[in-house]
């Protein structure tokens, strides 16, 4: 019998006892609790009439007005990446969410794209609490402004919110000296402890991928889990744990209404609940007027400088997420070519996860500053290092080591070509590596252009480190500027998929 079923059976037994005798005083109450979760909100404006902070804030305000017993939670990623965040390091997202504050906010990996100092600065500017039980300073001390398990008393219910960040953040962002404890184990231990401490409901607010979500659900340590990171929408209920994967950019929202029964008899407290999932397509939501006014002000500041045409593309370009993280992309080729041209390097390697617009461009399309800054919103710098071919090969192996997971480390390259077999063990997938017209020489030194994030070991690219750095972060150009200059000089760019990266094995 499931935990939830046991609780429900206990409630029915209690009810039966109440009918059988009136000798013991009893108390029963029903409470409606609403939980609204959101995460992965990058763009302050709507897209095609859906999402954006003005619509998100409208939903949050409406839910709170409809039910004062509402919890509004954030499960990671808003400070970056976006065009505007490239300028203000995410302050726009803080200003907009302050208009409809969260009850709790969990930092995602992208909260650290501009370093931990910027994150702490933004926490201080927030009118709501940030928390994560698995992030500490290097010495184990608490991070300034970052809380832990939050216990809230709502309508007679003791509710424990378990905030957990993604333990892979140091690999994919710029977390500095911060220490991240294991996401799943830390979350489950905290949930069990909260239950032992008398929590009536245990709610996980987490940023982690669906494989970890499944482990959290299977633990049955949580009543509800609100999860971000996967950029998808999903709901589930296995009879014990209700689950919501909270979409992207506030496009689709799913408030969960819990009908909670509280019964006390003979000094014993029994709590049971049933969930009801609602679906909100924000295309049907009228934007919050106060928020929209701020959105319009922010948009006006961007338009004049960003809507400037810098060139055109001869053929189609593709920066869709599933493409740049799995195969050669014409947009990836264009970006890598621009980095190599600007730096004079032999090879350029950049991570597909840093290419963010997730769109296609028709042949003959006009390219603007906005397009390039949307593609490259992180503010990364082009750097150059000199390393032997053995390390270049190791970097490529890292790049394709998680292609089956759609990981952002997948390499987009220039000056080099290779084949890989995703069915082979990670670390032994790359073959047929050519630099220009010559095979890769494992002992030869090559000048490699990359971005400062990867050179520092981001996305697992430790193999790029340890060389002689020829252009460091302080002396390099913004990648986006290199690409814009490259397009402007060419006038028309002819990037196309040309066999730089070939897939072997079963397709």
pLDDT band at 2 (very low <50, low <70, confident <90, very high): very low
Residue 395 and residue 486 in one domain = yes
1 domain residue, yes or no: no
CATH assignment at residue 38:
3.60.21.10
Residue 146 and residue 227 in one domain = yes
3-state percent breakdown (helix, strand, coil) of the chain, nearest 5: 35, 30, 35
Average pLDDT, the chain: 93
262 domain residue, yes or no: no
Cα-only R_g, the chain: 25
220 domain residue, yes or no: yes
Residue 111 and residue 234 in one domain = yes
Q: Which of 224, 244, 264 is the last residue of a domain?
A: 244
Give residue 268's Cα distance to chain centre.
Answer: 42
Domain boundaries, position 201: 33-43+73-82+103-244
66 domain residue, yes or no: no
- Asked if pLDDT for residue 217 goes beyond 50, the answer is yes
Residue 388 and residue 499 in one domain = yes
Q: Give pLDDT tens digits for 351-396.
A: 999 999 999 999 999 999 999 999 999 889 999 999 999 999 999 9
Q: Give pLDDT tens digits for 277-312.
A: 999 999 999 999 999 999 999 999 888 778 889 999
Q: Residues 139-165: what's their mean pLDDT? A: 97
pLDDT for the residue numbered 58: 98
Q: Give pLDDT tens digits for 34-58.
A: 999 999 999 999 998 999 999 999 9
Residue 355 and residue 214 in one domain = no
pLDDT for the residue numbered 9: 38
Q: Which of 244, 262, 291 is the last residue of a domain?
A: 244
Comparison of pLDDT for 461 and 173, the residue scoring more = 461
Query: CA–CA separation, 26 vs 13, rounded Å?
Result: 13
- Asked if pLDDT for residue 124 goes beyond 90, the answer is yes
Residue 313 and residue 445 in one domain = yes
In 3D space, the residue among 171, 148, 169, 152 whose CA is nearest the CA of residue 160 turns out to be 152
277 domain residue, yes or no: no
484 domain residue, yes or no: yes
313 domain residue, yes or no: yes
Residue 124 and residue 198 in one domain = yes
Residue 315 and residue 393 in one domain = yes
pLDDT band at 399 (very low <50, low <70, confident <90, very high): very high
In 3D space, the residue among 404, 442, 415, 424 whose CA is nearest the CA of residue 501 turns out to be 415
CATH assignment at residue 356:
3.90.780.10
In 3D space, the residue among 52, 167, 110 whose CA is nearest the CA of residue 379 turns out to be 110
Split into its structural domains, the chain has a count of: 2
Q: Which of 229, 244, 259 is the last residue of a domain?
A: 244
Q: What sign has the CA pseudo-torsion 307, 308, 314, 318?
A: negative
Residue 413 and residue 492 in one domain = yes
DSSP state of 477: P
Residue 314 and residue 396 in one domain = yes
H or E element that contains 336 = helix 330-343
Provide DSSP, 98-109: TTS--SEE---G
Q: Which residues on neighbouring strands pair with residue 269, listed in sequence order? A: 264
């Amino acid at each position: 019998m499931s935990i939830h079923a046991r609780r429900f059976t206990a409630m029915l037994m209690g009810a039966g006892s109440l009918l059988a005798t009136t000798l013991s005083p009893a108390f029963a109450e029903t409470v409606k609790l609403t939980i609204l979760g959101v995460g992965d909100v990058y763009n302050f404006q709507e897209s095609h009439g859906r999402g954006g902070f003005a619509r998100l804030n409208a939903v949050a305000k409406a839910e709170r007005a409809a039910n004062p017993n509402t919890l509004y939670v954030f499960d990671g990623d808003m400070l970056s990446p976006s065009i505007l965040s490239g300028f203000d390091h995410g302050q726009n997202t803080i200003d907009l969410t302050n208009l409809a504050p969260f009850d709790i906010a969990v930092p995602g990996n992208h909260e650290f794209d501009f370093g931990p100092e910027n994150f702490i600065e933004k926490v201080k500017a927030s009118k709501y609490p940030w928390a994560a039980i698995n992030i500490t300073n290097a010495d184990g001390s608490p991070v300034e402004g970052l809380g832990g398990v939050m216990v809230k008393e709502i309508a007679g219910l003791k509710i424990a919110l378990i905030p957990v960040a993604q333990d892979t953040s140091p690999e994919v962002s710029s977390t500095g000296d911060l220490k991240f404890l294991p996401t799943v184990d830390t979350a489950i231990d905290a949930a069990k402890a909260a239950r032992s401490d008398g929590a009536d409901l245990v709610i996980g607010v987490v940023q982690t991928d669906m494989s970890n979500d499944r482990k959290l659900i299977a633990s049955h340590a949580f009543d509800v889990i609100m999860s971000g990171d996967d950029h998808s929408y999903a709901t589930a209920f296995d009879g014990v744990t209700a689950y919501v994967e909270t979409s992207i950019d506030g496009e689709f929202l799913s408030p969960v209404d819990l009908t909670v029964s509280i019964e006390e008899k003979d000094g014993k407290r029994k709590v049971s609940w049933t969930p009801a999932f609602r679906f909100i397509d924000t295309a049907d939501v009228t934007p919050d007027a106060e928020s929209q006014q701020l959105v319009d002000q922010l948009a006006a500041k961007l338009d004049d400088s960003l809507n400037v045409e810098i060139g055109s593309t001869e053929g189609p370009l593709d920066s869709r997420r599933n493409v740049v993280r799995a195969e050669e992309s014409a947009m990836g080729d264009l970006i890598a070519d621009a980095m190599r041209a600007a730096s004079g390097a032999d090879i350029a390697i950049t991570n597909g996860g840093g290419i963010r617009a997730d769109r296609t461009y028709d042949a003959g399309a006009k390219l603007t500053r906005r397009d390039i800054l949307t593609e490259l919103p992180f503010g990364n710098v082009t750097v150059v290092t000199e390393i032997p071919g053995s390390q270049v090969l190791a970097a490529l192996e890292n790049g394709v080591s998680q292609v089956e997971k759609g990981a952002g480390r997948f390499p987009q390259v220039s000056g080099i070509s290779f084949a890989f077999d995703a069915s082979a063990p990670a670390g032994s997938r790359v073959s047929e590596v050519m630099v220009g017209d010559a095979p890769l020489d494992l002992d030869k030194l090559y000048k490699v252009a990359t971005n400062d994030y990867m050179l520092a070991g981001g996305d697992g690219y430790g193999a790029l480190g340890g060389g002689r750095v020829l252009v460091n972060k302080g002396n390099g150009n913004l990648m986006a500027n290199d690409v814009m200059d490259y397009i402007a000089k060419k006038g028309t760019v002819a990037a196309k998929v040309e066999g730089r990266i070939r897939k072997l094995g079963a397709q």
